[in-house]
Amino acid sequence: MHYFVSDVHLGSGNKAEQRRVESLFLDFLSKIEADAESLFLVGDIFDFWFEYKEVVPKGFVRVLGRLAELSDKGVRIVMLTGNHDMWVGDYLTEECGIELYTSPQRFNVAGKELFVAHGDNMNIKGNPILRLMNSMFRSKRLRKCASWLIHPNHFVRFGKWWSSRSRKSHSTTQSINVLQPLIDFATEFGREQHIDHFIFGHMHYAADITSEQHTLFMGDWHTQPNYIALDNNGRIELKHYK
């Protein structure tokens, strides 16, 4: 089996909420261990991650240890960064065996051609402010300057505040219309290249959409824990985790 999960946002909320979501995600990792061949982490697994050359954020030790254990047992673990955890370095690869990507990717899994992306910086041509913010946050030069000039305590404190502000912009009552930009992207891209399934996170709205292209969206784990499972016969399903 091949599993996909996104928007766990580890580290967000008060201490009780952080531990609740962490425990739920750890339970999920334990449940899939028996049959998992691969696990795709499709962005915003952490609510905030900024990796200095010699410093990583405090916390997440149980999850990181569990992912390292799965990797050691032969499970392929792939992480595509999101807008909350894009500032990765080599720590997750060297310590946990995670295969890292910082941009959308195509994968052939179980004979199916997949387009997998977090979805935060896609189809935003009509939003110049968002485009500017994306280019700034993804700038390697700005990231390097920040790591040189700002003490980790201050930067992490700012990052957590910014992440909380960004996360709260996702309304808990938003409609399926929020998915339309990514549905449009999948439709346009799928007309030019063969893709069996598009897989996205980011929008905090879980849905399985079949129009011109089959597009699956994963919601966030604080309000609607869910994941995608793809078996070796090519059957794919969006599932809610209880």
What are the pLDDT digits (tens) for 137-183? 666 676 666 666 677 666 666 666 566 665 555 555 567 788 999 99
The answer, yes or no, to whether residue 2 has pLDDT greater than 80, is yes
**Separation of alpha carbons 202 and 86, rounded Å:** 13
Q: Residue count of the chain, please give it.
A: 242
pLDDT score for 130: 56
Q: What count of other Cβ atoms lies within 10 Å of the Cβ of residue 147?
A: 18
**Separation of alpha carbons 25 and 130, rounded Å:** 30
Q: Which residue has the higher pLDDT, 120 or 187?
A: 187
Q: Which residue has the higher pLDDT, 44 or 132?
A: 44
Contact 183, 215 (CB under 8 A): yes
Specify the 3-state DSSP secondary structure of 206.
coil
Q: What is the mean pLDDT of the chain?
A: 86
Query: Which residues pair with residue 87 across a beta bridge?
Result: 50
pLDDT tens figures, 9-29: 999 889 999 999 999 999 999
pLDDT score for 56: 84
Cα radius of gyration rounded to whole Å, the chain:
17
For domain 2-240, the CATH class is alpha beta
pTM of the prediction? 0.86
Flag the least confident range among 92-96, 136-140, 215-219: 136-140
pLDDT tens figures, 54-88: 878 888 999 999 999 999 999 999 999 988 787 88
Kindly indicate the confidence band of residue 48, based on its pLDDT and cuts at 50, 70 and 90: confident
pLDDT score for 141: 74
Q: Which residue has the higher pLDDT, 44 or 141?
A: 44
Average pLDDT over residues 176-200: 92
pLDDT score for 190: 92
Sorted by where each begins, the domain ranges of the chain are 2-240
Flag the least confident range among 47-51, 124-128, 140-144, 209-213: 124-128
pLDDT score for 129: 60
Counting residues of the chain whose pLDDT is more than 90, the rounded percentage is: 62
Q: Which residue has the higher pLDDT, 123 or 183?
A: 183
**Separation of alpha carbons 41 and 80, rounded Å:** 6
